[in-house]
Structure 1
Amino acid sequence: MRARPPAGAAVLRPEKTEAIIAAFFGELGGCGYEGLTMDKVAERAGVGKAALYRRWHSKKEMLIDLVGRYATEAVLPPDTGSLAGDLRAVAEDAINVLKNPLVRNVIRALVAERRRSPDLDAVITEKFIEPRRAAGAAMFQRAMDRGEIAPDSDPEMAQDMFGGPLYFKGVILDEDFPTDFAQRLTDGVLRSLGAVRLTR
């Protein structure tokens, strides 16, 4: 299911488009998917409902389109030259994103809805999960190539050990992150992998 390409009167000024996108994610984070309506999005964005329906047939189509669009913009792991540096950078980026209560609420809404919507599940898997798993695997492969971790290390398990605490503390427990959380998480994962050095 894809949004219709805007044309003619459906082409809005950039500021209106940004207002619609902000309103959509604001409503999704505040009300969840079940409570979200096209009427509420239009009212919050300060536009007529017709501006939305010219682009999207339904809130489900809008959800799939916007989530797919913005999932591709999420930050991928950098290449700092060391596994410790890579992990620390990713952890700090994730913590900065998860500090926003709206982001936490949007994630909860998406996790709940993707199990009910095969279309949304496919978009999240293709646009967000698979690219990041591949980038994470490449990050650990670089560490193997540099001799930082053993060649038989398990990159998939390492990614779960690294991402799990971030998700659990930020989204499930809804707690603030201590200032040293990124470093502690990095050190813990490196120790579990038997990394040859811990750099700070």
Structure 2
Amino acid sequence: MSSSPVRRAPGGPVLQDAVTAAIATAMFEELAAVGYGKLSIEAVAKRAGAGKAAVYRRWPSKQAMVLDLVTQVAVSSADTPDTGTLRGDVLAYLSGTAAALNHPLASRIVPDLLAEGSRNPEMAATLLTQVGGTRRQKVAAILRRAIERGELPADTDIELGLDFLAGPLYWRIGVLHDPMDPVRIERLTDKIICAIAAAPGSGD
């Protein structure tokens, strides 16, 4: 008998966390290997050593499975621990995000999902709100803490600042395929802070 923790789906059977974790790992590996278009529930189940029914008990479709699991990982990777300074917070965020984008699976999955979103409006909308929107809300804490500390003006443009935090890093890693060594991340941190502090404020 397995000693793995179990949970019950609403109105459904008990779901073993170990099986869910195996399916999640298999989904990311399969998605990175074949892309969203060729991804199938059957292949994910086989890679996880589970039956298709185990997948369908957790998610009603391939799209639901992918969006749920991707959202969980993307949002958790946007955690912003308070280091005590704006520079420390920005550096921690950029370093963590760079590590996530440079992961062998993420480096193949992220561009594929963005491309799929251009063909699938429902997926694009979900990625924008559940992933992009939630991540931006969490990362905004970096700038709000800096305002509270007096490191940034009270009227700092939060939305523009979030663009500065996300855009340059993704451009270098996602588009130019530059892994961004620690020295470059340090330099980018200082440039971003200067840009945010210098940008005309328009409020929150």
TM-score, structure 2 normalization: 0.79
- Find out whether 1:65 has 2:68 as its counterpart: yes
Specify the alignment match of 2:160 in structure 1: 157
Q: What's the offset of the Cα at 1:90?
A: 0.5
Q: Which one of the candidate residues 39, 43, 66 is aligned to 1:40?
A: 43
Check 1:6–1:68 CA distance in 2 against 1; reply closer, same or farther (3 A cut): farther
Which residues of 2 match residues 96-111 of structure 1 at below 5 A? 96-111=99-114
Q: Is the 8 A contact 2:24 2:69 kept in 1?
A: yes
How far apart are the structure 2 equivalents of 1:134 and 1:50?
36
Check 1:189–1:55 CA distance in 2 against 1; reply closer, same or farther (3 A cut): closer
Deviations 1:135-182 (A, max 9, x none): 333322332333323334322222212211211122222232222122
How far apart are the structure 2 equivalents of 1:145 and 1:54?
46
Q: Is the 8 A contact 1:6 1:54 kept in 2?
A: no
How far apart are the structure 2 equivalents of 1:52 and 1:73?
22
Specify the alignment match of 2:12 in structure 1: 7
After superposing the two structures, state which structure 1 stretch, 18-27 or 113-122, moved more.
Answer: 113-122
Specify the alignment match of 1:75 in structure 2: 78
Q: What's the offset of the Cα at 1:122?
A: 3.8
Partner secondary structure for residue 180 of structure 1: helix
Specify the alignment match of 1:23 in structure 2: 26
Unaligned segments of structure 2, at least 5 residues: 1-8, 199-204
Q: Is the 8 A contact 2:146 2:152 kept in 1?
A: yes
Q: What's the offset of the Cα at 1:5?
A: 4.6
Unaligned segments of structure 1, at least 5 residues: 196-200
Q: Is the 8 A contact 1:6 1:55 kept in 2?
A: no
Specify the alignment match of 2:193 in structure 1: 190
Q: Is the 8 A contact 1:162 1:185 kept in 2?
A: no
Question: In structure 1, what residue type is equivalent to 2:137?
Answer: A
Q: What's the offset of the Cα at 1:45?
A: 1.1
Which residues of 2 match residues 120-199 of structure 1 at below 5 A? 120-194=123-197
How far apart are the structure 1 equivalents of 2:68 and 2:147?
37
How far apart are the structure 1 equivalents of 2:91 and 2:74?
22
Identity %: 38
Check 1:164–1:15 CA distance in 2 against 1; reply closer, same or farther (3 A cut): same
Root-mean-square deviation (Å): 2.4
- What is the count of residue pairs matched by the alignment? 190
